[in-house]
């Protein structure tokens, strides 16, 4: 059963990405027949071995739940260390997640961009982050070329836009998302469903641009679901999965021949790729399962017809139950077809078929070895080439261009293993460390980040300032609310009575001021949660540091917080004739805003959505309000609750405002017995210090809380925003 084509100029695939025996096992909770929850280990990826040629588009396809995105995440280093077993290499050299991230870009399925930046500004900020060593002119020239390459010249000065702001189209937004991550020319490009949500024309345009990127020398790996015929023509290499197992790997043009060898003919006017996926789903729903198709792809054992599955099962296996047979039972069926193959190593010829039903021509068409091994106890997942040896650090040359048929791959291409090499389990273990030679070989990847800490901070501050100026609603709404409430408070508490009720009213003004400033920061919850997705995308491949992001956000918002505090302070201070230094009153209000803003930002970084964020902030606001000392002084609180008085961020601005107002012997009213009630007497009754030097301690404590919450925010960014599967 031969397949002869004019292969033209052969292609050497070894300049791309190779991966060996990738396995990703997770534990899931399932209910048994009695309704009890049991833990079951499930392989989302099972012994996947293959490669992605350089200069080509490798498409990972398969039915829903096949493991496409999981494989993409595993290759891109987005699965937590220790969770994924296997080995990934490039040019014969082992790659760890850090090396992969330093030489690759990952385009997420969702477009996470700032809506109020133009296309040009978005690319320029990406250039600033990625091309730190280039001059401003060189960055601008590179951005202009990229805009032209992606076909975005007509939308150069258009806002990205979102649901509330009209901007670029969906296809253009997707191309912008690709552009910001390829501006530094990564050698590896990963795309997760780049055509999702796009119409046929826009989807074809996106893949067409990705095709051009691949032809420029990058290794492109993407997941795609139901591509159109036009898009299929742009794909160079296929990896088809089902239930975490490899069903097919090779050229799209070889899919029809692969189906013929299975005994399946592609219907007229139907895509061979879609038909193969249909066949896989048919086996998945049968008694044999997808293991039959996986075995054919790996060992050449032709799967039995689905209609004969029941007969095969009864003749060769004992089912564990009347239900669908187990994974082991399915393999027993497959092994029954090849029991006469007792040798551990199966010598597979290119164009031969014997009467046993074993198709010798199915030696994987992309296999460059003369032979490869399979285990009698199951299917050996060594797809066409043996995994790279750890001591083989060769980097074979690559001939530009992609193959049309799998037979075009150079048979003499140097492979890390000889044809007689027997697969060893140790080859598949993810190495914990690498030799000096391997690390030295990647010295050209450069530093982890393109810019220094201070350069990153300045770039982030510039971008933050532009976003604030173009979306002023957040801070203008706060300013309007504080101004309106300041006017209301000034008129409501004007001219307090000189008695105990008047003193109580003035205390109410101070506590309400603290509560107002706390609530005014609550709108930062949805704002940061929305921005967090952009942060995850940008830092997933080392665009900038989490520390520079933390500092830039703090410094950018300081003047706006100061403006809000100043407007409120000016309105109420003079209207109510408050005493004490005005500057201290202003500093207390500013520090109150800073500490509460830091607290809200921290909470936003650890909650999954803004609904839980609001709930958490409101709950803590109630707790802080209850224990700040207004309802009960610290002396009157039970001993087991006094610690909450110290934790409450409202305690310190409240006490600071009272100390500024009442640290004096002046009388503020008469008690029922006609005695003067002095400022010191009020503070003493509330268990607040009378020492004037203690006033600034409240400021320092609030500053300490602000720093503490920002540190927690930074830790949360590092721990909870790494975008890795666990």
Q: pLDDT by residue (tens digit) across 550-593?
A: 999 999 999 999 999 999 999 999 898 898 899 999 999 999 99
pLDDT band at 512 (very low <50, low <70, confident <90, very high): very high
At 595, is the pLDDT very low, low, confident or very high (cuts 50, 70, 90)?
very high
Q: Which two tokens stand for residue 371?
A: 């032979």
Predicted local confidence at residue 82, as pLDDT: 73
**pLDDT tier at 304, thresholds 50, 70, 90:** confident
pLDDT at 308: 55
Residue 16's nearest CA partner among 224, 239, 230, 234 is 239
In this structure, of 113-117, 124-128, 528-532, the range with the lowest mean pLDDT score is 528-532
User: What residue spans of 235-360 are helical by DSSP H?
Assistant: 255-261, 272-284, 291-299, 309-316, 327-336
pLDDT in tens, 360-399: 333 333 333 332 333 323 333 333 333 333 333 333 333 3
Task: Please determine, for residue 314, whether its predicted confidence score (pLDDT) is greater than 70.
Answer: no
Structure confidence at residue 721 as a pLDDT band (50, 70, 90): low
Estimate the crossing angle of helix 546-576 against helix 524-539, to 10 degrees. Answer: 160
What pLDDT, in 10s, does the model give residues 138-157?
Answer: 999 999 999 998 889 999 99
Q: Which of 551, 531, 535 is nearest to 457 (CA)?
A: 551
Tokens standing for residue 612 = 């839980």
Residue 725 pLDDT grade (very low, low, confident, very high; cuts 50, 70, 90): low
Closest CA to 261 of 419, 344, 250: 250
The distance between the two most distant Cα atoms of the chain, rounded to a whole number of Å, is 117
**pLDDT for the residue numbered 364:** 38
Q: Is 108 helix (H, G, I), strand (E, B) or coil?
A: coil
**pLDDT of the residue at 516:** 92
Mean pLDDT of the chain: 78
pLDDT at 155: 92
Contacts 24+ apart (CB under 8 A), 254-263: 254/3, 254/365, 254/405, 254/406, 257/3, 258/297, 258/362, 260/1, 261/1, 261/296, 261/302, 261/359, 261/361, 261/362, 262/293, 262/296, 262/302, 262/303, 263/302, 263/305
The pair of structure tokens assigned to 514 is 């603290």
Higher model confidence: residue 148 or residue 402? 148
Tell me the C-alpha distance between 621 and 608, whole Å: 20
The span from the CA of 580 to the CA of 598, in Å, is: 28
Average pLDDT over residues 605-632: 89
- 573 Rama class: left (phi>0) / alpha (psi -120 to 50) / beta: alpha
Mean pLDDT over 629-644 rounds to 88
Residue 359 near residue 376, CB atoms below 8 Å = no
| Residues 575 and 490: beta-carbon distance below 8 Å | yes
pLDDT band at 409 (very low <50, low <70, confident <90, very high): low
With H, G, I as helix, E, B as strand and everything else as coil, classify residue 721: coil
């Amino acid at each position: 059963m031969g397949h002869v084509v004019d292969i033209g100029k052969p292609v050497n695939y070894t300049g791309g990405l190779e991966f060996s025996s990738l396995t990703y096992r997770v534990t899931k909770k399932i209910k048994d027949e009695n309704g009890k929850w049991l833990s079951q280990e499930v392989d989302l990826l099972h012994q996947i071995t293959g490669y992605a040629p350089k200069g080509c588009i490798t498409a990972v396809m398969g039915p829903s739940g096949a493991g496409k995105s999981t494989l993409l995440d595993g290759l891109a280093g987005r699965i937590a260390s220790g969770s994924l077993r296997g080995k990934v290499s490039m040019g014969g050299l082992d790659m760890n997640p850090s090396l992969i991230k330093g030489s690759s870009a990952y385009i997420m399925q969702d477009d996470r961009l700032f809506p109020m930046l133009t296309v040009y500004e978005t690319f320029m900020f990406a250039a600033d982050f990625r091309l730190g060593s280039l001059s401003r002119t060189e960055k601008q020239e590179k951005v202009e070329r990229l805009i032209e390459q992606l076909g975005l010249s007509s939308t150069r000065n258009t806002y990205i836009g979102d649901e509330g702001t009209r901007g670029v189209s969906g296809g253009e937004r997707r191309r912008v998302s690709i552009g910001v991550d390829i501006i530094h020319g990564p050698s590896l490009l990963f795309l997760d469903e780049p055509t999702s949500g796009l119409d046929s024309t826009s989807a074809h345009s996106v893949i067409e641009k990705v095709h051009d990127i691949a032809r420029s020398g990058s290794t492109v790996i993407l997941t795609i679901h139901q591509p159109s015929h036009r898009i299929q023509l742009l794909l160079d290499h296929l990896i088809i999965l089902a239930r975490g197992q490899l069903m097919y790997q090779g050229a799209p043009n070889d899919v029809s021949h692969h189906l013929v060898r299975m005994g399946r003919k592609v219907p007229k006017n139907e895509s061979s790729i879609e038909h193969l996926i249909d066949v896989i789903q048919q086996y998945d729903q049968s008694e044999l399962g997808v293991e039959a198709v996986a075995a054919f792809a790996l060992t050449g054992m032709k799967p039995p017809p689905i209609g004969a599955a029941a007969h095969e099962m009864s003749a060769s296996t004992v089912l564990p139950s009347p239900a669908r047979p187990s994974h082991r039972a399915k393999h027993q069926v497959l092994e029954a077809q090849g029991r006469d193959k007792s040798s551990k190593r199966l010598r597979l010829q290119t164009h031969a078929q014997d009467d046993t039903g074993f198709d010798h021509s199915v030696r994987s068409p992309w296999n460059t070895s003369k032979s490869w091994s399979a285990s009698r106890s199951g299917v050996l997942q060594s797809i066409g080439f043996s995994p790279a040896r750890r001591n083989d650090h060769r980097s074979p040359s690559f001939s530009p261009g992609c193959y049309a048929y799998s037979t075009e791959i150079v048979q003499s291409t140097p492979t890390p293993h000889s044809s007689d090499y027997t697969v060893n389990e140790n080859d598949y273990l993810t190495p914990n460390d690498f030799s000096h030679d391997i690390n030295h070989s990647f010295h050209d990847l450069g530093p982890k980040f393109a810019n220094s800490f201070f350069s990153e901070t300045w770039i982030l501050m510039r971008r933050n300032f532009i976003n604030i100026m173009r979306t002023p609603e957040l801070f203008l709404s706060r300013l309007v609310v504080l101004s309106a409430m300041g006017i209301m408070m000034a008129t409501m508490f004007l001219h307090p009575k000189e008695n105990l009720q008047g003193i109580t009213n003035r205390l109410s003004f101070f506590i309400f001021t603290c509560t107002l400033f706390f609530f005014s920061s609550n709108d930062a919850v949805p704002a940061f949660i929305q921005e967090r997705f952009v942060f995850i995308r940008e830092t997933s491949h080392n665009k900038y540091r989490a520390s520079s992001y933390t500092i830039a956000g703090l410094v950018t918002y300081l003047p706006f917080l100061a403006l809000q505090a100043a407007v409120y302070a000016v309105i109420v201070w003079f209207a109510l004739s408050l005493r004490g230094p005005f500057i201290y009153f202003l500093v207390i209000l500013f520090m109150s805003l800073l500490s509460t803003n830091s607290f809200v930002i921290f909470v936003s970084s650890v909650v999954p959505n803004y609904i839980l964020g609001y709930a958490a902030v409101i709950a803590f606001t109630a707790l802080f309000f209850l224990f700040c000392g207004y309802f009960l002084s610290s002396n009157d609180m039970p001993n087991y609750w006094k610690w909450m008085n110290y934790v409450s961020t409202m305690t310190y601005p409240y006490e600071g405002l009272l100390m500024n107002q009442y640290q004096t012997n002046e009388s503020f009213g008469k008690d029922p017995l006609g005695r003067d009630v002095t400022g010191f007497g009020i503070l003493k009754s509330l268990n607040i210090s009378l020492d004037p030097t203690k006033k600034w301690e409240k400021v320092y404590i609030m500053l300490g809380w602000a720093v503490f919450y920002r540190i927690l925010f930074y830790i949360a960014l590092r721990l909870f925003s790494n975008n890795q599967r666990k």
